[in-house]
Every structure is written in C-alpha cells, then in structure tokens.
C-alpha cells in the first residue's frame, strides 16, 4: 500500500527520502564517538563514584574511557584524582591537591608541555578515545581553541630544542658516573678530563640552568665555561662529587 502511494506521488516520495536521510544522519551522529562533546559537569559524573557510568579522564581536552584501568582510576586508586576531570597540569607537576588539579599549563616549560602531549599520546594508544571536553582546549562546536594550538606549538618547539641539545651534547662526550651509599658519587673519563659545563639550551627548555659533566681533551681545557670539580686536580681523570 505505502509503496503504491509513494510511487503514485513523486512529492511524497521525495519527502520520504529526505526523512530517511535525516534519520540515517541522526543515527550516525549518535554513534560517531568522535562527535561527543562533554561539559565539565558531565565529565565530573564519570569519576568512578557511580558504578553504572564509565570512568572518564580528560587530558588537553581529549576525553578517554579508562574503565579498564579501574583499579588505578577508580575510587581509592592511585590515579583516581585524574578521573572525571581534566587535570593536565598534574601529569607533570605531581600536585594532586586543590588548585594543582587544573588544566591550565600556565608557566610550564616547553619540555613539560611536551611531556603532557606525550601523556595524551599514551592515552590514545592505551585507552578508548570518547570525545572532547568543551572549555579551555575545545570550543563548544568541538574545534580546537587557540590555547590548544599554542600548547601544541610549544610542545613541538620543546621537541626541536631537545633534539638540538642532543646533537650539541654529542659533540662533547659525557663523563661516566656512579653513586653508592657507602662511597658517594664519582665521575670519570675514559678519554680526557672531567669538567662541569652549562647545558646548552637548558634555559629555553626548562627555564632553569643546569650543568652536566663532560670529558675534554687536554688541548681543549682552556675553553671558557669549563669548571673543575671542587677538590679535584686539574688533570685528574676521576673526581668525587
Ligand atoms: C564524584 O562525583 C560525584 C558527583 O559529582 C560527587 O558527589 C562525588 O563526591 C565525587 N567523588 C569523588 C571521589 O570525587
Ligand atoms: C599544589 O598546588 C596548590 C595550588 O597551586 C599550591 O597551593 C600547593 O602549594 C601545591 N602543592 C605542592 C606540593 O606543590
């Protein structure tokens, strides 16, 4: 009967077709997990307290289902403070108290930001991606915010700097080192003499100065910026630290 009517009326037929397409689109949107957007409040319900809901975690605005890691992310688990929220900063700060549980990365260095992006990659590999958290990292249509683009650019810059640092440092071999409870620390060179040197690019990378021990040949020892270990002879191959 219905088919007959459809066939009889081209107008009705088109209407039915449009309705079918709309139904199909609605159906696929519903089942396309990539389209799911969460509010902070919705995400908060998925903190492991309500056993009927999956445990979800946000990082850089990406939301993952971590239910299969319930022993870690569920109530009483070691990572439970990550559940039901985006606490991106805590992945590097290790601060799980009060305002430490924030998604703001303000003031973090490029290596720290890079490390958070690597954590997000870890979740992509290990858990199911379920959607986006609307807020700092995604606007309400699900598009990335300027903040997220800035974070990703900073992480990329960090990766470049680290690579450059590795190349720079490879030019000057590092000292061997060991440490024991009884004898304390010791550095030594198989070839050359131990000197403390400023790590290049460290300020740009971490915002802090840091030094490393590298081995220099005798004819390199008058370079500027080389520091002899305290209490160690100029030409000693081994120094206590
Ligand atoms: C989980 O979220 C619910 C609802 O927001 C809240 O009542 C409960 O205290 C939270 N549990 C934990 C462990 O944070
Ligand atoms: C954690 O972060 C809060 C808020 O920024 C701060 O008050 C607190 O001192 C921090 N705790 C640690 C151990 O760093």
pLDDT tens-digit map of 193-238? 999 998 877 777 777 788 999 999 999 999 999 999 999 999 999 9
Q: Residue range 81-91: average pLDDT?
A: 97
**Substitution candidate for ligand 1 out of 49, 54, 87, 101 with most atoms within 8 A of CB:** 49
Kindly indicate the confidence band of residue 121, based on its pLDDT and cuts at 50, 70 and 90.
very high
Q: What is the pLDDT of residue 120?
A: 98
Checking if the pLDDT of 115 tops 80, the result is: yes
Q: What is the pLDDT of residue 1?
A: 45
Q: What is the pLDDT of residue 165?
A: 87
Evaluate: CB of 88 within 6 angstroms of ligand 1.
no
| Token pair in block for residue 117 | 């992006």
Q: What is the pLDDT of residue 15?
A: 58
Checking if the pLDDT of 74 tops 90, the result is: yes
Q: Which of 55-59, 104-108, 168-172, 211-215 has the lowest mean pLDDT?
A: 168-172
Q: What is the pLDDT of residue 207?
A: 75
Q: pTM of the prediction?
A: 0.72
Q: Which of 24-38, 123-137, 165-179 has the lowest mean pLDDT?
A: 24-38
Q: Which of 13-22, 109-118, 188-197 has the lowest mean pLDDT?
A: 13-22
CB neighbours (10 Å) of residue 201? 16
Checking if the pLDDT of 139 tops 80, the result is: yes
Q: Would you identify the CATH topology of the domain 35-163?
A: Flavocytochrome B2; Chain A, domain 1 (3.10.120)
Span 11-47, pLDDT tens digits: 555 555 555 555 555 555 555 545 699 999 999 999 9
Evaluate: CB of 87 within 6 angstroms of ligand 1.
no
Q: Residue range 91-113: average pLDDT?
A: 93
Q: What is the pLDDT of residue 182?
A: 87
Average pLDDT of every residue of the chain: 88
Over its C-alpha atoms, the chain yields an Rg (Å, rounded) of 28
> 106 C-alpha to center of ligand 2: Å?
14
Span 39-71, pLDDT tens digits: 999 999 999 999 999 999 999 999 999 999 999
DSSP string, 146-196: HHHHHHHHHHHHHHHHHHHHHHHHHTSPBPEEEEETTTEEEEE-SSSEEEE
Side-chain-side CA neighbours of residue 143 (13 Å): 3
Closest protein CA for atom 5 of ligand 1: 45
Span 1-14, pLDDT tens digits: 444 544 555 555 55
The ligand with the least distance to the CA atom of 98 is 2
- Pinpoint the residues of the chain covered by CATH 3.10.120.10: 35-163
CB 152 within 8 A of CB 117: yes
> 53 C-alpha to center of ligand 2: Å?
30
CB 5 within 8 A of CB 12: yes
Q: Report the phi/psi class of residue 172: left, alpha or beta, with left for phi > 0 and alpha for psi in -120 to 50.
A: beta
Can you state the angle between helices 110-126 and 146-170, rounded to 10 degrees?
110
Q: What is the pLDDT of residue 205?
A: 75
Side-chain-side CA neighbours of residue 122 (13 Å): 11
CA dihedral sign, ordered 208, 112, 163, 155: negative
CB neighbours (10 Å) of residue 237? 16
């Amino acid at each position: 009967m219905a088919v007959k009517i459809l066939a009889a009326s081209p107008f009705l037929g088109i209407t039915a077709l449009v309705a079918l397409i709309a139904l199909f689109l609605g159906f696929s949107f519903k089942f396309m997990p990539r389209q799911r957007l969460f509010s902070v409040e919705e995400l908060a319900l998925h903190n492991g307290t309500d056993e009927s809901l999956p445990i979800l975690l946000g990082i850089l605005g990406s939301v993952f289902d971590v239910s299969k890691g319930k022993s870690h992310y569920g109530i009483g688990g070691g990572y439970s403070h990550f559940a039901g929220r985006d606490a991106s900063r805590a992945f590097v700060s290790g601060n799980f108290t009060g305002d430490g549980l924030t998604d703001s990365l303000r003031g973090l260095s490029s290596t720290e930001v890079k490390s958070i992006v690597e954590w997000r990659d870890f979740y992509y590999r290990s858990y199911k991606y379920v959607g986006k958290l609307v807020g700092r990292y995604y606007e309400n249509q699900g598009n990335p915010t300027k903040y997220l683009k800035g974070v990703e650019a900073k992480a990329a810059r960090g990766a470049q700097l680290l690579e450059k640092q590795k190349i720079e440092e490879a030019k000057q071999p590092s000292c061997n080192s060991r440490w024991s409870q009884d004898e304390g620390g010791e550095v030594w060179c198989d070839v050359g003499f131990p000197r403390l040197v400023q790590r290049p690019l460290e300020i740009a990378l971490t915002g802090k100065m840091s030094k490393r021990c590298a081995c220099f040949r005798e004819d390199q020892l008058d370079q500027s910026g080389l520091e002899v270990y305290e209490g160690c002879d100029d030409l000693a191959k081994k120094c206590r630290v």
